[in-house]
Amino acid sequence: MERESQPVRRCVVRFVGHVQGVGFRQTSAHAARSHDVTGYVRNEPDGSVELVAEGAESEIRALLDDIQDRMSGRIRHMHEGWSGATGQYDRFEVRY
């Protein structure tokens, strides 16, 4: 997944809004298939959705843009945290 000029990064995103029970996880997973990323998306007990993605920063940002476009009326706020990738994921999945 390493790009010539882009190191692999990790982004943890918390989506807040009307994001559970509306197909958010499945939409995110479907969008992730169009990008060179690994990680997961899951519902949190507080009603938010957590997404962890690893890949080139441009791929992750494109994924987040796709999710925002597809779920625009549902997301009230999103918080991003960036760090180095762990390499622990081999695909992108929905976690339950």
The alpha carbon dihedral of 65, 40, 9, 34 has a sign of negative
Question: Is residue 32's pLDDT more than 80?
Answer: yes
Residue at 42 is within a domain: yes
- How many domains does one find in the chain? 1
Banded pLDDT at 4 (limits 50, 70, 90) = low
Residues forming beta bridges with residue 79, ordered by sequence position: 14
Q: How far is CA 35 from CA 15, 22, 46, 50, 69, in A?
A: 19, 22, 28, 18, 15
Q: Which domain holds residue 80?
A: 8-95
Banded pLDDT at 18 (limits 50, 70, 90) = very high
What is the C-alpha R_g of the chain? 12
Q: Is 43 a catalytic residue?
A: yes
Question: Is residue 2's pLDDT more than 70?
Answer: no
Q: What is the average pLDDT across 12-18?
A: 98
Q: Is 61 a catalytic residue?
A: no
Separation CA 81–CA 83 (nearest Å):
7
Instruction: Of 40, 46, 10, give the one whose Cα is nearest residue 25.
Output: 40
pLDDT at residue 3 in the model: 45
Separation CA 75–CA 2 (nearest Å):
30
CATH value at residue 75: 3.30.70.100
Q: Which of 42, 43, 61, 70 is catalytic?
A: 43
Residue at 2 is within a domain: no
Residue at 1 is within a domain: no
Q: Which of 25, 33, 61, 70 is catalytic?
A: 25
Instruction: Of 66, 62, 96, 64, give the one whose Cα is nearest residue 81.
Output: 64
Residue at 88 is within a domain: yes
Banded pLDDT at 1 (limits 50, 70, 90) = very low
Q: Can you give the pTM of this predicted structure?
A: 0.93
